[in-house]
A and B are shown apart, each in its own frame.
Chain A
Amino acid sequence: MAKDSRLILDPLADNNPITIQVLGICSALAITAELEASIVMSISVLFVLGVGNVVISLMRNIIPSKIRIIVQLIVVATLVIIVDLVLKAFAYELSKTLSVFVGLIITNCIIMGRFEAFALGNGPWRSFLDGIGNALGYGIILIIVGFFRELLGSGTLLGFPVLGDPIEKTGLYALGYENNGFMLLSPMALIVVGIIIWVQRTKNKALIED
């Protein structure tokens, strides 16, 4: 169905959770200093949001609306604990870098937002697509920010030397670039997100609100 594909495509650009709805900013600023952490965070959110949306959608007719927030929290918490334990078991170093932010996926506004706004009112398949789409929209921004911050801040990509000091040490080539320490600080992540928002709204003027 043509409409279903929009569920995935919209959040990638014109209804992006970070740049348009401005949700989930905290984790986007905190863990994007390295590309690897951004990717793992995106995958974690992808899992939590995709599965969570389906679970909530399946239960949507039996959840009493008075306690729905609590039910939603329990679902997210369960999924996040699974993610956390998996990371600790198979990627211990990385789970230390992400530290508390894996746990904080629970409070990520995007997830509760999608549960409330979509999964409670739609069937499992459409909820699944919506969850995947929003998680991808979140992930794409995280990866863009993480890419620029790691490249310009540490001179590496996924740990491989590309620019600046790290590549000079390997002796392959030297560009005279010096790592920009500011890129590793959180304020610069905010500015990078801001620049993405700027570029996006310049391209699509319909997104500019007063």
Chain B
Amino acid sequence: MGLKQNLHNFKEKNKDKKWLPGFNALFTFLYMPNETTHNGTHIKAADDLKRTMNTVIMALVPCLIFGMFNAGYQHYLAQGLIESADGFLGASFWTWDNFVIGLWKVLPLVIVSYGVGLAVEFIFAIIKGHEVEEGYLVTGMLVPLIVPVDIPLWMLAVAVVFGVVIGKEVFGGTGMNILNPALTIRAFLFFAYPTWMSGDKVWVHGAVERDQAIAAGQNLDAISGETLLGAYAQNSSLAGIDYWDMFWGLIPGSVGETSKFLIIIGALFLIFTKIGSWRIMLSTVIGALVMGLIFNGVVDAGWIGESSKFYGLMSVPFWQHLIIGSILFGAVYMATDPVTAAQTNKGKWIYGFLIGFISIMIRVFNPAYPEGVFLAILLMNVFAPTIDHYVVQGNVKKRMKRVKVKTA
């Protein structure tokens, strides 16, 4: 008897125990369940929810690993301890030292995110007496990637509890939520603890600590942890960063969203495996570019002067909006969440376009929220059912017309 049979027998023996859903959740990680349906429709498909989720996680792993290296790299670079890495394969980037710092800072985020989130899921599954749902697998991976490295762990834990309970469980769990749970968690952190989620310190590990040390009277140089968006919003730019750095991701930012290169690879992987919707990704990018072009046009037409507080971000070339913030990360991993996105093909185009459009609008018009992507996606999450409704109704109307023409 193999391990699978043993586990299955164990399951049969404890059929009416309260904790069984917890066991099942772990069991199905290893093996497909032994049950088959006996009546009704039979569909044989290897990609159940858990496989789908695992595919997305695979697409995220490169971002996570890159994020770990980048955390260490930014930490040392900001202190002037290492040379700036020249390009993606730069010698001072892929070093053991960088990785150790990154591992030390990022791994706890991953552990807290999964530990707390899954604990909440297990508790709800046991109270409600249903199987543990897999929805948290991707959320738990996304959360550490969209927060600053130095976020205190207890804040993350509070936010995860809030996001999973209020963002998902109150609506009935995975598949019923109207808001993307990972973004709910980020929104909670953003509004609850703005000093840890924005500003010019939190994005580089050590910058906040160093500030406190300086405030305590130690004679040290301050570390700047400013993101590009923050700098642009103040009409200045960061020295020594060129477009390739932004593209490869050698810039300060949330843990996993900096490397546009790896995000594009992840996007291709998701499109190839047919997990992510290319329509949403493409239309989001188009929406962002259109809004960027409009703002460039406004600047070119001379409607706003250099003294305007919007000038800095408005004059950013439209294509550059794609590589300075996290709009690509949002477009590929957040907007495409199949539960909260629009379901119809036409709806997906509208939904994605508006996400890109509104993201750049928030980015430019509200310097206090230089990263508007998560707000834009949450907003469109709310509107996605409405978009679908009108797309479906429009289709119905069109077909009704066709019927009338034939009968007439």
A181, B170: Cβ atoms closer than 8 Å: no
B302 CB → nearest A CB, Å: 38
* A125 located at the interface, meaning its Cβ lies under 8 Å from any Cβ of chain B in the complex: no
B188 at the interface (CB under 8 A from A): yes
Cross-chain contact of B191 among A178, A181, A194, A198 (Cβ < 8 A): A181
State how many angstroms separate the Cβ of A42 from the closest Cβ of chain B. Answer: 26
Residue B155 is within 8 A (CB to CB) of chain A in the complex: yes
Q: B172 contacts the other chain (Cβ, under 8 Å)?
A: no
Closest B residue to A195 by CB, please name it. Answer: B166
Taking the complex as formed, is B317 at the interface, i.e. its CB lies under 8 A from any CB of chain A? no
Contact with B along A13-41 (1 / 0, CB 8 A): 00000000000000000000000000000
- Chain A facing B: main interface SS: helix
Whether B166 lies near A183 (C-beta < 8 A) is: no
Query: Would you call A180 an interface residue if the criterion is a C-beta within 8 Å of the partner chain's C-beta atoms?
Result: yes
A191 at the interface (CB under 8 A from B): yes
The one of A176, A181, A198 in contact with B194, judged by C-beta atoms closer than 8 angstroms, is A181
Task: Answer yes or no: B192 CB below 8 A from chain A CBs.
Answer: yes
Asked whether, in the complex, the Cβ of B188 is within 8 Å of the Cβ of A178, the reply is no
Interface positions of A from 178 to 210, Cβ below 8 Å from B: 178, 180-183, 185, 191, 194, 198
Asked if B193 is at the interface of the complex by the 8 Å CB criterion, the answer is yes
Is the beta-carbon distance between B170 and A183 smaller than 8 angstroms? no
Establish whether residues A181 and B192, one from each chain, have CB atoms under 8 Å apart when the complex forms: yes
Chain A residue nearest to B189 in the complex (CB): A182
Residue contact B170 to A178, C-beta cutoff 8 Å? no
Interface residues of B: mostly helix, strand, loop or mixed?
helix
| A181/B193 in contact, CB under 8 A | yes
Contact between B166 and A191, CB atoms less than 8 A apart: yes
Identify which of B152, B170, B192 contacts A182 (C-beta below 8 A).
B192
- In this complex, the interface size class of chain B, counting residues with CB under 8 Å from chain A, is 10 to 19
Nearest residue (CB) in A for B166 is A191
Tell me, in angstroms, the Cα distance from A178 to B170 when the chains sit together: 26
Query: Which of B154, B158, B191, B193 contacts A185 (CB under 8 A)?
Result: B191
Give the bracket for the number of chain A residues in contact with chain B.
10 to 19
Instruction: Determine if A198 and B193 form an interchain contact, defined as CB atoms under 8 angstroms apart.
Output: no
A198 and B188 alpha carbons, distance in the complex (Å): 20
Chain B, Cβ-Cβ closest to A191: B166
Q: Is the CB of A180 within 8 A of B193?
A: yes
Closest chain B residue, CB of each to CB of A176: B154
Question: Restricting to B153-198, which residues have a CB under 8 Å from any CB of A?
Answer: 154-155, 158, 166, 170, 188, 191-194, 196
- Min distance, Cβ B198 to any Cβ of chain A, angstroms: 12
Nearest B residue (CB) for A153: B192
Contact of B170 among A176, A180, A185, A198 (CB under 8 A): A198
Partner of B188, one of A176, A182, A194: A182
Q: How far is the CA of A209 from the CA of B155 in the complex (A)?
A: 35
Contacts of B196 in A (CB 8 A): 178
Q: Within the assembled complex, what's the spacing in Å between the Cα atoms of A182 and B197?
A: 13
Q: How far is the CA of A180 from the CA of B188 in the complex (A)?
A: 9
The CA of A176 and the CA of B154, in the complex, are separated in Å by 10
What residue of chain B has the Cβ atom nearest to residue A185's Cβ? B191
Q: Which residue of B lies closest to A198 (CB)?
A: B170
Closest residue of chain A to B192, judged by CB?
A182
Contact with B along A33-69 (1 / 0, CB 8 A): 0000000000000000000000000000000000000
* Interface residue ranges of A146-191 to B (CB < 8 Å): 176, 178, 180-183, 185, 191
Residues of B within 8 A of A182 (CB): 188, 191-192
- Distance, CA A182 to CA B155, complexed state (A): 12
Contacting B155 at CB < 8 Å: which of A178, A183, A191?
A178
Nearest chain-A residue to B158 (Cβ)? A180
Q: Which residues of A contact B155 (CB under 8 A)?
A: 178
State whether A178 touches B193 (Cβ < 8 A): yes
Note all chain B residues with C-beta closer than 8 A to A178.
152, 155, 193, 196
Interface residues in B188-229 (C-beta closer than 8 Å to A):
188, 191-194, 196
- How far is A178 from B191 in the complex, measured between Cα atoms in Å? 13
Given contacts A178-B193, A181-B194, A191-B166, 11 further A-B contacts (CB under 8 A): A176-B154, A178-B155, A180-B192, A180-B193, A181-B191, A181-B192, A181-B193, A182-B188, A182-B192, A194-B170, A198-B170
Top-4 shortest CB links A-B: A182-B192, A182-B191, A180-B192, A181-B192
Question: 15 interchain pairs (CB within 8 A)?
Answer: A176-B154, A178-B152, A178-B193, A178-B196, A180-B192, A180-B193, A181-B192, A182-B188, A182-B191, A182-B192, A183-B192, A185-B191, A191-B166, A194-B170, A198-B170
